[in-house]
Amino acid sequence: MAVPLRRLTSAPAPAVAAAVSSKDAAVPVHMELESSRAPFSFEISNLGKVLWKGDASEKLVSRDAPMVFPKEGVDLHVTVAWPGDSAREAVKLAVTPANDAASEKTLWGEKKVDDVLTFP
């Protein structure tokens, strides 16, 4: 297969670089975590980095966090644990990127849930 030299040596077009940096910019994202029972402990990660972690004494907790939110969506790794012996519990995560619609997903489990949720 012949390889034209100019295709190998030409620099990437500036327009592409600009589009990428804009695409990679973080936007404020509002997150709400609602559990069927309190207290509970939780951790939410995106791309291997912890975005939000804590112990909740109320059933509903919320927070705003900056996040890169491409049109293809984001995967959030969600871990929630309830102390003691618990029946089947549920936890709902609602995510609202700035200037965009909210979407929500629910996980069910006993004592602990540990799974990946895709938004939107």
Identify residues 19-58 at the interface with other proteins (CB under 8 A). 20, 23, 45-48
Could you tell me the two tokens for 93? 């995560």
Tell me the window of 31-39, 66-74, 94-102, 104-112 that interacts with other proteins (CB under 8 A): 66-74
Q: Which is nearer to other proteins, 59 or 109 (CB)?
A: 109
Residues in the chain: 120
Q: What angle do CA 72, 77, 80 make, to 5 degrees?
A: 145
Q: How far is the CB of 3 from other proteins (least distance, A)?
A: 5
Dig out the tokens for 99 from the structure.
Answer: 């200037």
Compute the distance between CA of residue 36 and CA of residue 92 in angstroms, rounded to an integer: 9
Q: Which of 3, 5, 15, 101 binds other proteins (CB under 8 A)?
A: 3
Tokens of 86: 């618990």
Cβ closest to other proteins, residue 16 vs residue 101: 16
